Amino acid sequence: MNKGTALLSRIVILVVDSVSLARQELNATIQRRFGQRKALPPSDERDRRY
């Protein structure tokens, strides 16, 4: 029973680590693609849209 619990906790830790790493990579990709748009002031975006 102890071995199973230790294995389960290891798997949970691995999954949590991989999910957090994937989130960091996703945030970096989003910032790369949309960082320039977010950097612009909202007034400039309004002028270009309309």
- Whole-number pLDDT of residue 40: 56
pLDDT for residue 39: 55
Q: Per residue of the chain (50 residues), give pLDDT as tens.
A: 688 899 999 999 999 999 999 999 998 888 888 775 655 555 655 566 55
The pLDDT score that the predictor gives to residue 30 is: 84
- Tell the residue number behind the tokens 């990709």, with chain if given: 29
DSSP character string of the chain: -HHHHHHHHHHHHHHHHHHHHHHHHHHHHHHHHHHHHHHS-HHHHHHHH-
Residue 36 pLDDT: 59
Query: What's this model's pTM, rounded to 2 decimal places?
Result: 0.49
